[in-house]
Amino acid sequence: MSKLRERIVITGIGLTAPNGNNLAEFRHNLLNGVSGITNMEHRYIGRVIAGLCDFDPKIYQNKRDIRNGTRAGSISVYCANEAIRDAGIEINDSNRSRIGVFAGTTEHGNVETENEVFNISQFDYNVDYWSHHHNPRSVANNPAGEVTLNMNITGPHLCVGAACAAGNCGVIYGAQQLMLGEVDIAIAGGISESPRTFGIFASFRSQGALAHHDDPTKASRPYDRKRNGIVISEGGCLYVLERLEDAKRRGAKIYGEIAGYCMNSDARDTVLPLAERQAECFRIGIERAGINPDEIDLVNSHATGTSVGDIQEAIAMRSVYSEGGKIPFVNNTKGYIGHAMGAAGALELAGNLPAFDDLTIHPCLNVDDLDPECAIPNLVYREPVKAPNVDYIANNSFGMLGNNSVLIIKRYDA
């Protein structure tokens, strides 16, 4: 399999996470063990544990647009504006039609529908009280579309529905659009508003996969022997992607280069993951990057804190590195922020990109008693680790219906 035809680089990052509203804050908290997970009161099921963001949507939106739009839209608008600002790009008549917005999502519209059904229940289900904003709120492209309306971007926009692999897939799709010449700038990544909906909590609870703990900051504990499920979180991370020559021409700072990627499907089960296909996805992504597995320096794992899922990914990782050679460091971000669903892959990658410069690997959080079945060589937990070098980062992201994605990012050297 050949390497990418065009060199695509990351020149801007905008994010909001349960423990940070910009990359510097997010990274600081990952290195210092600061969790963003808390308790919240849910309308139907009472107290639950969740990761909630505290960014101010009024920085980029007026009250009317916030009221008429969606939480996912506000997250997208915040992240997109922050990313464009970080990239040092001015949107104007000369470039607005050549900018595309590609936001990965798990699902969209559930929050709005549930809220509006509750609202009309207060009026004996009289549909005269149904919001006329429902359709634009609940269409699948809403989060990306709200960005184009807010920023007056006239290029293409869409949401990439890829379950919990969506953050990676949004970046991959944006890179592909640049390689095809469809856009000159891609705002791409993932977003999620999942804690605002009832159905996702009820479903995970019915499956026995909803995390619980007396201390919410200790509820999300991938790889730990006492892990008991997923902490549902919101968040977003959108990147500015450009072709390398365009970025160099304008003197942009470059966070990293997209070296390779892969997306594949388990074709086995709607929920249960499959190590064999995850390993295959990982190998193909590395091959497309034109490197060997032992050239990867850091892997951010997807592990969500479920019993089966964490073990399957550990099996996949061990199989890729079963033939000897250098073994990469492996970490995980969900102990700090929970599972941000459609935003997870993009957010977790962002938290690791600074390792290209500071060579510091943030640890997994809440791994107090490592499950032997999850033991991965060079798993970083308890304390940050200094690496001798970080030239390639691999980001794993997997989702329901057997949706697998791997993104390989390379250190950019001018």
> Residue 54 corresponds to which tokens in the numbers above?
């505290």
Q: Which CATH number fits domain 8-249: 3.40.47.10, 1.10.287.3510, 3.40.50.620, 3.40.50.720?
A: 3.40.47.10
What are 327-336's pLDDT values in tens digits? 999 999 999 9
Q: How far apart are the first and last CA of the chain?
A: 26
> Residue 20 corresponds to which tokens in the numbers above?
């940070």
Q: What mean pLDDT is reported for the chain?
A: 96
Alpha carbons 38 and 18: distance in angstroms, whole number: 9
Strands (DSSP E) along 193-334, which ranges?
232-233, 235-243, 256-265, 298-300, 329-331
What are 126-138's pLDDT values in tens digits? 999 999 999 999 9
Q: Does the pLDDT of residue 2 top 70, yes or no? A: no
Instruction: Give yes or no on whether 8-249 and 260-410 have one common fold.
Output: yes
Determine the average pLDDT of the residues in 12-34: 98
Superfamily name and number for 260-410: Thiolase/Chalcone synthase (3.40.47.10)
Residue-level pLDDT at 131: 93
Residue-level pLDDT at 3: 60
Alpha carbons 221 and 366: distance in angstroms, whole number: 5
pTM comes to 0.97
Residue ranges of the domains in the chain?
A: 8-249, 260-410
